[in-house]
Structure 1
Amino acid sequence: MTEAKTAGLILICFSLLHGFVAALNCTSPTPESLLNALEKELFPKKLLRPVKRFSDTLNVTVHITVVGILGVNEKAQSLTTFIWQVMEWNIDGLSWDEKECGTKRVSIPREKLWVPDVHISEFMDEDKSPKTPYVYLYNTGRVFDDKPVRVVSSCRLEIYTFPFDFQNCSLTFGPHLHFASDIRMIQGETAAESLAESRKVLKTKGEWELADIKISPSTLEISDGTYSDIKVYLILRRRPILYVVNLLIPSCFLMTLDLFSFLLPPESVDRSAFKMTLILGYTVFLLIMNDLLPVTGDTTPLMNVLFSVSLALMVASLLETVFITNIQFSSNQYSEVPHWLSILVLRYLAVVVFLPPKEKSNRTTVCLRPPAADNAMNTSILSSRDLQSISGDTSLEKPPPELALDELRKLSRDLMAIRLQMDKHFQGTKTSQEWQMIGMVIDRLLFGLYIIFISVSFITIVSIWIWNNSLEG
């Protein structure tokens, strides 16, 4: 019994000196012979890290190929991708002769080998991808582990430039337990090679496309030790054409229609009813298209700001139309314009909107209405001679009846009142004219703000689109 233990210790020491396992000897070039050799030398050690000494570091090489971009959830701040993950590592001391054993590569069950505990740090959900039960083992001791992974990862999404946005999401590959002194992660291929391979096999043609891939080694330092990681950055670009056609173009049409509504004369057309119809249509449009807009609590997209400002301008134009209409029909009842408002609007804003104040007319208005006292006296002393002079009859005849005199006096008063009312209606008072001028200046000012807003929005959208395409190239 003692001799058996001594022989076992000698065998273990010999194995540690020459490698994790010894070279395999196959009795014949058949699968059964190779399997027997693996059962004897390798499979019993599946619980140990395949290195010669505990102080040795095992190098694990990682290759990443993106097969599909399944979706981006702005509300949950997550990215769903489908990738092929390839890991390679060496079993120290393992080898066999290709001719003696009949093959240089064999597939063996995954549970028969020690597999590094490499995971993705950004995982947010269970991996629901199909499981691959086998790995490849080469005659040089190289293990090739290729498996599909459905990754639901956390990603900080920046949607300020929606729908012309880019997203930079990282996938960090590293061991869950082993420190950098135990497992060191090695980048398997360059970022350009990984991008070319991913674009070649990418299956999805949905809203997102793969713009670029960046790969860099990194380390995570904590109080207990240091972990070795590989960071893969996936640069995603949103295809904006769907949102341009369904959101931006209809919104621009409605804004342009509201802009041209300023050409309607408020004194002859019910402009407010037209603008109210536009506001209702724009509100229904936003409610229908609300599902297409991203929802996050972090950042407000620039497009949402555009829609909000557009709706605010429409409401402001409706209020301004109500004000203008009220001035047109009720300015005679207004009190005098405040001095500061007159200076601000008629002197400064009128120049800004290219509407200089009207020059005073040189015509003199003659008031045919005599003073009240004289008017009463003249009315009371209206005689038959005056009536004869009015009628053109200069001969002295019998005066008309008193009833005719009363009727002529009433007719004279009515004609004078009508004349004064007509003059007041057509010429207007100074206060009424000032209020109407203020209304014209405000109308022209809002019209100019509309033009500026639409122009700036159009230039901004085109610039972001061009910048988006230039980054793609």
Structure 2
Amino acid sequence: MTGVKKAGLIFICLSLLHGVFAALNCTSPTPEALFDAFEKELFPRKLLRPVKSFSEPLNITLKMTVVGILGVNEKAQSLTIFIWQVLEWDIAGLSWDEEECGTSRVSIPREKLWVPDVQITEFMDEDVSPRTPYVYLYNTGHVYDDKPVRVVSTCRLVIYTFPFDVQNCTLTFNSYLHFVGDIRMFPRTTVEEVLEESKQVLQTKGEWELVDIKAGSTTVMLQEGSYSDVTYYIILRRRPILYVVNLLIPSCFLITLDLFSFLLPPHSVDRSAFKMTLILGYTVFLLIMNDLLPVTGGSTPLMNVFFSISFALMVASLLETVFITNIQFSSSQYSPVPHWLRVLVLRYLAVIVCLPPIKKSNRITVCLQQPSRVSIIPSKDLENISSNIPPEKTPLDPVLDELRNLSRDLAAIHGQMDKHFQGSKTEQEWEMIGIVVDRLLFGLYIAFISVCFITIVCIWVWSNLGLQLGHTMK
């Protein structure tokens, strides 16, 4: 009995060392003979994980190649790409002789073998890619599974710098059910090889450009255990030329046109009608191009802020034009300028907009009012005055009366003309306030356009420079 037990133990150990499957025996080097061997030894065990023992993990290598970038949905925060997924693993103990069976590789229906349940964690929609019904099986027990996958995955999109944004989307490949003790995932190739091959086979030349691919191996801890996974980071960059040509350049043209409208004299040209036409044109432009702007609930792109501020400045310039026009024609009916407004605008803001102070007029005003009675009186009249005798009426008195009346009329005309051309002090102050406000808004327009231009150029350069530095660090 002891010898029988020893022989049984030796047989069991040899069986475990040899593997689950024994070497296949083919009666002839024909497909039919090999298929009969599969029917006898391989296909009945398709429900079991192909390892020697339950405690032994199955090593699976993964290779991923990006074939096409189908689109990015900012509203749904999703990425749609087309990839080739290659899985490889070994069936423990399975082998056959190439000469005896007639081949070293054969294609087998996928449903006839145990296939790992490798999925992408970030998937959002069903895979609708074409199904590949076969896998390759080699005479060493090595399985090669290559299939296309249409991936619709979640991706946290950051569109703050739209249209110069760079997105980093994650694809995590792991088993849907098996823990790390059952299945271990390993990348088959380096990320440099994956990126180079992806750029060679990439077919789409649309809005998005594949910039880089990075890889990392992480483990997600759960209560039941941990899962082995392979993570790829797909880095995409938007091609901004479409949005620069269709959005930024036309908007800058309209804003520049509104800027130069400040050079129109408001007292002789209907500036408000011109600005109203620009506002209507800008509104129609935004309505037409609204579909090109991304819509998300998380953040607002800088371009949307740029359009909003531009529209607000156009409306403010129209209101300012109405204010100045009203001052030009109705300032005589205004009450005196409040002290705080006079100090704020005429003393401080006027200095900011480089408006020179009003110089005092160098004109000499000749007073034509009736002067003191100084005239040449004959000596005879002087004698009469000195002797308290009333003087006799001379022929010069009617002429002097006419001159006095003429002097009063000229003084009245002079006062009216002075008031007409120079205006009162209140009118001058209100008109000065209108000029200061006009110059201030003109300066704000120039500052806004300059800041926007510098910001756009910096973001564009920084996005390209950051990617170049990333490649250099590699």
TM-score, structure 1 normalization: 0.87
1:150 matched residue in structure 2: 150
* 2:203 matches 1:208: no
Unaligned runs of 5+ in 2: 1-7, 371-394, 469-474
Q: In the alignment, is the contact (CA less than 8 A) between 1:48 and 1:114 conserved in 2?
A: yes
1:295 matched to 2:295? The reply is yes
Compared with structure 1, are the counterparts of its residues 151 and 414 closer, same or farther at alpha carbon in structure 2 (3 Å cutoff)?
farther
Q: Does 1:137 align with 2:137?
A: yes
Shift of 1:366: 5.4
| Whole-Å separation in 2 of the counterparts to 1:60 and 1:446 | 67
Cα deviation for residue 328 of structure 1 reads 1.3
Task: State how far apart, in whole Å, the 1-side matches of 2:149 and 2:139 are.
Answer: 27
Residue number in structure 1 paired with 2:356? 356
Tell me the CA shift for residue 363 of structure 1: 4.0
Q: 1:322 to 1:54 in 2, by over 3 A?
A: same
C-alpha offsets along residues 348-374 of structure 1, whole Å, 9 cap, x if unaligned? 11111111311223545456679xxxx
Match of 2:432? 437
Moved more, 204-213 or 29-38: 29-38
Matched, 1:251 2:244: no
Other-structure match for 2:125: 125
1:124 partner SS = coil
Task: Spell out the pairing of 1:194-273 with structure 2 (5 A cutoff).
Answer: 194-273=194-273
Q: In 1, Cα distance between the equivalents of 2:65 and 2:350?
A: 64
Secondary structure, aligned partner of 1:29: coil
Structure 2 residue matching 1:266: 3-state secondary structure: coil
- Structure 1 SS opposite 2:217: strand
Q: Distance in 2 between matches of 1:130 and 1:278?
A: 53
Picking from 462, 465, 468, the partner of 2:463 is 468
Report 1:409-420 matches (<5 A): 419-420=414-415
One-letter amino acid of the structure 1 residue matched with residue 450 of structure 2: S
1:14 deviates by 5.9
Equivalent-residue separation in structure 2 for 1:270 and 1:255 (angstroms)? 19
Judged with a 3 Å threshold, the aligned counterparts in structure 2 of structure 1 residues 284 and 415 are, in CA distance, closer, same or farther, namely: farther
Q: What residue in structure 1 maps to residue 69 of structure 2?
A: 69
* Matched AA of 1:276: M
The alignment partner of 1:300 has SS state of coil
TM-superposed CA distance for 1:413, in Å, is 9.2
Describe the SS at the equivalent of 2:146: strand
Name the amino acid aligned to 2:459: I
Aligned residue in 2 for 1:403: none
Partner of 2:420: 425
Structure 1, residues 196-229: CA drift from partner, whole Å, max 9, x if none? 1111111111101111111111111011110111
Deviations 1:417-470 (A, max 9, x none): 655333212011111111111111111111111111101101111111122233
Q: Is the 8 A contact 2:86 2:146 kept in 1?
A: yes
Q: Give the 3-state SS of the residue equivalent to 1:223 in structure 2.
A: coil
2:196 is paired with a residue whose SS is helix
Q: Distance in 2 between matches of 1:431 and 1:337?
A: 7
Whether contact under 8 Å (1:187, 1:216) holds in the other structure is no
Could you give the per-residue CA deviations for residues 90-133 of structure 1, whole angstroms, max 9, x where no partner exists? 10111112122111110000000000010011111111001000
Name 1:373's counterpart in structure 2.
Answer: none
| Alignment of 1:346 onto 2:346 | yes
1:188 is matched with which residue? 188
Matching residue of 1:323: 323
Task: Answer with 411-420 or 428-437: which moved more.
Answer: 411-420
What is the aligned length? 437
**1:136 CA displacement:** 0.3
Instruction: State the Cα RMSD in Å.
Output: 2.5
Report what 2:309 is aligned to.
Answer: 309
> Distance between the aligned counterparts of 2:52 and 2:305, measured in 1?
63
8 Å Cα contact 1:125/1:152 also seen in 2: yes
Pairwise CA distance, 1:11: 8.7
Preserved contact between residue 368 and residue 407 of structure 2 (Cα < 8 Å): no
Alignment check: 8 A CA contact 1:323 1:439 kept: yes
* SS class of match (1:81): strand
For 2:323 and 2:412, locate their aligned partners in 1 and report how far apart those are by CA, in whole Å.
Answer: 30
The DSSP-based 3-state class of the residue aligned with 2:82 is strand
Question: Which segments of 5 or more consecutive residues in structure 1 lack a partner in the other structure?
Answer: 1-7, 371-383, 393-408
Equivalent-residue separation in structure 1 for 2:319 and 2:368 (angstroms) = 41
Cα 1:249–1:290 change in 2 (3 A) is: same
The alpha carbon displacement at 1:325 in A equals 1.1
* 1:139 CA drift (Å): 1.0
- 1: CA distance between counterparts of 2:145 and 2:397? 125
> C-alpha displacement at 1:471, in angstroms?
3.7
Percent sequence identity over aligned pairs = 75
Q: Output the CA distance in 1 between the equivalents of 2:67 and 2:463.
A: 23
Task: Determine the structure 2 residue equivalent to 1:177.
Answer: 177
Q: Provide TM-score, normalisation by structure 2.
A: 0.87
CA–CA separation in structure 1 for the residues paired with 2:369 and 2:191: 95
Separation in 2 of the partners of 1:108 and 1:239? 43
Q: 2:374 maps to which residue?
A: none
CA spacing shift, 1:386–1:472, aligned 2, 3 Å: farther
Q: Partner of 2:387 in structure 1?
A: none
Deviation at 1:22, TM superposition (A): 1.0
What pairs up with 1:390-405 in 2 under 5 angstroms?
none
Once the two structures are superposed, residues 120-171 of structure 1 have per-residue CA deviations (whole angstroms, 9 ceiling, x without a partner) of 1111111100100000001111100000001111111110000000111111
Q: State the alpha-carbon separation in 2 of the partners of residues 12 and 49 from structure 1.
A: 20
| Secondary structure of the corresponding residue to residue 42 of structure 1 | helix
Pairwise CA distance, 1:54:
0.2
1:185 shift after superposition:
0.6
Matches within 5 A, 1:24-173: 24-173=24-173
Q: Deviations over 1:356-399 (max 9, x none)?
A: 311223545456679xxxxxxxxxxxxx987655779xxxxxxx
- 1:228 to 1:198, Cα distance in 2 relative to 1, 3 A: same
Alpha-carbon distance in structure 2 between the residues aligned to 1:247 and 1:141: 59
**Which whole-Å CA distance do the structure 1 matches of 2:359 and 2:63 have between them?**
81
The SS at the match of 1:25 is coil
CA offsets, 1:277-311, max 9 Å, x none? 11111111000100000011111000000000000
Given candidates 453, 460, 466, the residue that maps to 2:448 is 453
Q: Which moved more, 1:53-62 or 1:21-30?
A: 21-30
Partner in structure 2 of residue 281 of structure 1: 281
| Distance in structure 1 (CA, Å) of the matches to 2:278 and 2:25 | 86
Name 2:378's counterpart in structure 1.
Answer: none
